Amino acid sequence: MRYIYLTLIAFFFSASAFASLSPIAGSGNVCIGLTDTLTNTTPGGIWSSSNPTLASVGASSGIVTAHGVGSVTIIYTVGTNAVAKVVTINSLPNIYNVFGGGAYCAGTGGVHIGVDGSELGVSYLLYYGSSVTGYAIGTGDTTDFGTLTVGGVYTVLATNGITGCSNAMTGSASVTIIHWLHQWLQLQLLPAILYARVLLYFLLRYLLTVVQRQHTCGILTEPMWQPATRTTLFLRMGML
């Protein structure tokens, strides 16, 4: 009889401990290469994974790190009692290349930016700095965000709306606006300055030749056109 009582008491305390072990809290979904933290209100337990190759978990932290796509069971053990939770590891959106961008003249319409591929159902967000400025849904083909007119650097982030996993697309695209003054300087003023410098160079060489001949004939006796002085003059005029 005493043995029966002791067995019942042991069973009672064991059942109470199991009943007091709270369920594991956490999303149950994690993207490959990222982490997710699981928690349990019952203290003093140890975390373990049914497949550490697929997803490992910190023994005391409950931080799950995803290594491969699939499902794994995360176990929380307190004494002889345990509770489990299935965690699904999801893949990231495929990586494609950002294309487009370039320079355009102000007032002529802008340039296009896109991605050279896409996945069905995946959202593609066009970022200007840290702000979203464009949006497209993947069709399985090239994605175009339309005409962009604001100058700057653009990047693209793909997000799977079902799993919540995101991935940055490769590269970026820059938009440069050529204003009329800048264009005029490039097409008109800068060539004119270059031509003027060339013309001035040959004019100075001609004048130097004339002066040297006059000096040789005794017409000019001032030493101002000596070679050292001539080199200094050219340097000051930017010819050398």
pLDDT tens digits for range 93-148? 999 999 999 998 887 888 999 999 999 989 999 999 999 999 999 999 999 999 99
Fold: same for 2-90 and 98-178? yes
Confidence band of 207 (pLDDT split at 50, 70, 90): confident
For the chain, the structural domain boundaries read 2-90, 98-178, 185-237
CATH architecture of the domain 2-90 equals Sandwich (2.60)
Residues 55-65, mean pLDDT to the nearest whole number: 96
Under a CB-based contact definition with an 8 Å cutoff, are residues 157 and 169 in contact? yes
Q: What is the pLDDT of residue 108?
A: 80
Mean pLDDT value across the chain: 81
| Local confidence band at 215 (pLDDT 50, 70, 90 cut-offs) | low
CATH 2.60.40 fits 98-178, yes or no: yes
In the predicted model, what is the mean pLDDT of residues 3-21? 41
Interval 7-27 mean pLDDT: 57
Q: What is the pLDDT of residues 90-106, one digit of tens each?
A: 999 999 999 999 998 88
Closest CA to 226 of 215, 218, 235: 215
Parallel/antiparallel/unpaired status of strands 98-100 and 111-115:
antiparallel
Enter the tokens of residue 155.
């990047």
Q: Rounded distance, CA 80 to CA 20, Å?
A: 13
pTM: 0.63
Is residue 220 predicted with pLDDT exceeding 80? no
Instruction: Please compute the mean of the pLDDT values over residues 171-177 and round it to a whole number.
Output: 94
Q: What is the share, in percent, of the chain residues with pLDDT greater than 90?
A: 60
